[in-house]
Amino acid sequence: MLSTGIVSIDGSTGESGGQILRTSMTLSSITQKPFEIFNIRAKRSNPGLAFQHLTAVKAVRNICRGRVEDAEVGSRTLKFFPGKIIGGKYDFNIGTAGSVTLVAQTVLPILLVAEKKSEIRITGGTHVLKSPGFDYFHNVFIPAIQLMGAKVESEMIKPGYYPKGGGEIRITVEPSELTGIEKWPKDEHIRALIRIANLPLSIAMREKKVMLENSIEDVSIREEETLSPGNSVTLWKSFRGSYVPGEKGKRAEVVAKEAIDELMKETGDLDRHLADQILIYGILAEGKTRFKTSEITDHFKTNADILSHFNEKKIKYENNEVTIQQF
């Protein structure tokens, strides 16, 4: 039986991922509207809350002094009652190689409306599957929200890969007033960053060779020591990027070519992943935000639907063109 007086969210909506919960937590804190969610990650092979989702929930609860019910691993329902947002220093440890960037993207918008500067440290996986790698987060996502007025800085203290994680990032956030953007700067110069950890350097050199063969010459290689071996390739040009983590059994040449092919698909102002990630900032910003992307993904549609439960601004999209404003 659902409660009355609070926003009710069906977690099986659209692609049914953890983003539904994270977006709801963020907007609930900012708008001060409590919510309940059921069918959390219902369509996934391991439905319910996982460690990284639980970390995001606890992080938001701590920052806004809220109250949460049913917050435990495996839970398919959750209720959240937000309180006062308090800026300051926070340290969050996922405890696994769960994505640190997804936790960061959950709390960042909340800290932008806090009354004082904040510093957050998050420990977990910095370059893992099915989430933005830190290099994409730092070089594509952060500059995009900075352009909108967000006073945010990010740095990676150490990388972390599956399965042990142990990576750590630090982010500083100052209270900021966001402004909508309609014209996004474009730069066609491609930059590449290859990371290799506890694996032969020759893997990274083979990936670099593929880059050079495809006329990508601005290539950096970072060789590092980590708890678990790992490899990642990140490419970007202005607000379009691609990120492909290496996987056991996947040839270095395939990883590099996949990253190149993904970037070449991105012809709009923002790539299809950033288009989804920037929605909440367009909602919070003063004025209109407009951009063109390469594809309106199911993830984008789901996120747009969840955002509509908490705000009066509307998100319109047609022919891969997106407009966020008060209609």
- Tell me which residues are annotated as active site: 299
- Looking up tokens 């678990």, which residue turns up? 228
Q: What is the C-alpha to C-alpha distance for residues 95 and 124, in angstroms, rounded to an integer?
A: 6
d(CA 271, CA 259): 13
Cα separation, 322 vs 119, in Å, equals 32
Token readout for 259 is 């990253």
CB 204 within 8 A of CB 251: no
* Nearest by Cα to 151 from 175, 171, 122: 175
Bridge partners of 209? none
Distance CA 28, CA 81 (A): 8
Distance between CA atoms of residues 123 and 121, nearest Å: 7
Q: How far apart are the first and last CA of the chain?
A: 34
**Look-up of token digits 């929605």:** 279
* 315: CB partners within 8 A, 6+ apart: 279, 282, 283, 304, 307, 308, 322, 323, 324
**Local structure of 33: helix, strand or coil:** coil
SS3 of 254, please? Answer: helix
Distance of CA 91 to the CA centre of its chain: 18
With CA atoms as reference, report the closest residue to 123 among 104, 136, 145. 104
Q: What does each C-alpha distance from 59 to 23, 83, 319 come to in angstroms? A: 13, 13, 37
